[in-house]
Amino acid sequence: MAYNVPIGNWSQYVSEAVNNQEVANYVIGSNGGVDPAYGCYKNFTSTYQCGNGPTKTVDITGFQVEAGGRAVTFDCSAENAICGGFRLTVGDDGNLVLTDSNSAVTWQSNTTATGLALDEFKATNGKYGRNYLLSGETLNAGEFVGSPTGNCYLMMVSDVADCTQNGLQLLYTKLNCTMNSATDGYGNDDTANGLFSIAKVDISTLGKVGYIDEQNSIHLYPDDMTSLAQTYTLIGNYDSPGNDIQQIANVSMEQCSAACNANDDCNGFVLYGGACNLKNSGMFPMGLRVPDDNQKLYVRDKTIVNDVSCAKDVNADVSADWQLHPASSNMSMDTLCELGAYTRNEQADLSAKDAELNNAADVMTNNLLSIADEKHKLNKSFGKAKKELKKDIKDYSVMRRKLINNNKNIQNIIGMSEDTELNMSSQNIKYFLYANLAIIIAIASIRLMRS
């Protein structure tokens, strides 16, 4: 006998067993239905889809294989991991923001309307006691999720005559009164109090560091002059949802702060029940702050580098106070503070005098170098003259010795000359005497001969 089993004969039972489950192990035939061909082998094939993801298939097929009693797994864990980290947040700025598991914004309403901050619609009084919805959470008619202050809220609206107004809506509350005059403000009659609005605070300065000078002007520190400190400020019993970097279990406040100090992206943490969540720069004050008696919110302090005349302490303040000071030029390493700024003219005069002294010192240095050069030349000249003088003295000594020797020779010659002259005189006298004697003898002889 042949049996023709229609496609989809078991879809109803499978749907009842696996719908709305992340992972479902289904045993074929375990939850009802009639076996269309008892005792015959039957295959099982089922296609399914996880959200808007691709179509998947599970099957038990084969020759002489009975699917009944066997188990197949319907698995949507991969798709659920992608969708599971989504968060829809209602902010005090009137904006509705959808973020993924990495805290990246995937959608936002770009709305800015807000109203009265009512305790009735605060986040703590909403369905989940916070200002956001997580994946898988729902709102029934009349339930809401409020902003931290309650100035706007997300509510599931129903039973409104205009059906276009039913459904999930972002709402806020305003006073139903009229303006009496430009000076009286709002009020319905003479007995009503005047109501005046206050301009919103510019929150663009959140997380910034500035210096207030002696003129009450504020100077912004650029990012390259600020960094995260190793200390923290306790904000109070709050949570700052989202912007998680790391979750750490079984740690003290000191251990959690040490872990945050070791992470350059950590701007603070939330401590709760012996565990903590490290947060990035999107945390409070840039992000939300939700009251929670079971959690403590710590914000990492800032540290700065600046001129030695400027203070190093960084004190927390509010954005409204920042707006009270006129903006001036940004801080730099050349910006002087306090006493340094007051003595700027004196420092300029001192710098000018210091420059004059440096110039005078340069002139003196050049003169000393010139004198040293002249001294070197003189020393060199004196050395040469000294050598020549020594040579001359030596020559004079030799000449003197020669003169002394010559004088001695001259004296000897003079003595010899005098002796020679005496001898010659003696010989001349002798010769004269002999000559005269000869003459006398000759005369005498002549006379004798005559006689």
With a cut of 80, say whether residue 138 has pLDDT above it: yes
With a cut of 70, say whether residue 143 has pLDDT above it: yes
Per-residue pLDDT tens digits for 88-109: 999 999 999 999 878 889 899 9
Higher-pLDDT residue of 426 and 257 is: 257
Per-residue pLDDT, 1: 46
The total of other beta-carbon atoms located within 10 Å of residue 204's CB is 9
Of the pLDDT bands very low, low, confident and very high (cuts 50, 70, 90), residue 270 is very high
Three-state secondary structure call for residue 334: coil
Per-residue pLDDT tens digits for 211-239: 988 888 899 999 999 999 999 999 999 99
Higher-pLDDT residue of 247 and 32 is: 247
| Token pair belonging to 389 | 């003088």
Per-residue pLDDT, 332: 92
Judge whether 230 and 302 are in contact, CB under 8 Å.
no
Three-state secondary structure call for residue 99: strand
How far apart CA 43 and CA 303 sit, in angstroms, is 70
Higher-pLDDT residue of 166 and 425 is: 166
Judge whether 27 and 69 are in contact, CB under 8 Å.
yes
Per-residue pLDDT, 179: 56
Judge whether 73 and 25 are in contact, CB under 8 Å.
yes
With a cut of 70, say whether residue 54 has pLDDT above it: yes
Of the pLDDT bands very low, low, confident and very high (cuts 50, 70, 90), residue 177 is low
Is the N-terminal amide bond of 285 cis, ω within 30° of 0?
yes
Judge whether 315 and 303 are in contact, CB under 8 Å.
no
Higher-pLDDT residue of 37 and 451 is: 37
With a cut of 70, say whether residue 451 has pLDDT above it: no
How far apart CA 364 and CA 47 sit, in angstroms, is 99
How far apart CA 359 and CA 157 sit, in angstroms, is 84
**Averaging pLDDT over each range in 235-244, 357-366, 380-389, which range is the top one?**
235-244
Per-residue pLDDT, 301: 93
Tokens 């003479």 sit at which residue? 190
Considering the entire predicted model, what is its pTM?
0.38
Mean pLDDT, residues 402-424: 74
With a cut of 80, say whether residue 55 has pLDDT above it: yes
With a cut of 90, say whether residue 122 has pLDDT above it: yes
Residue range(s) of every CATH 3.50.4.10 domain in the chain: 206-344
Per-residue pLDDT, 226: 92
Name the class of domain 206-344. alpha beta
Higher-pLDDT residue of 285 and 184 is: 285
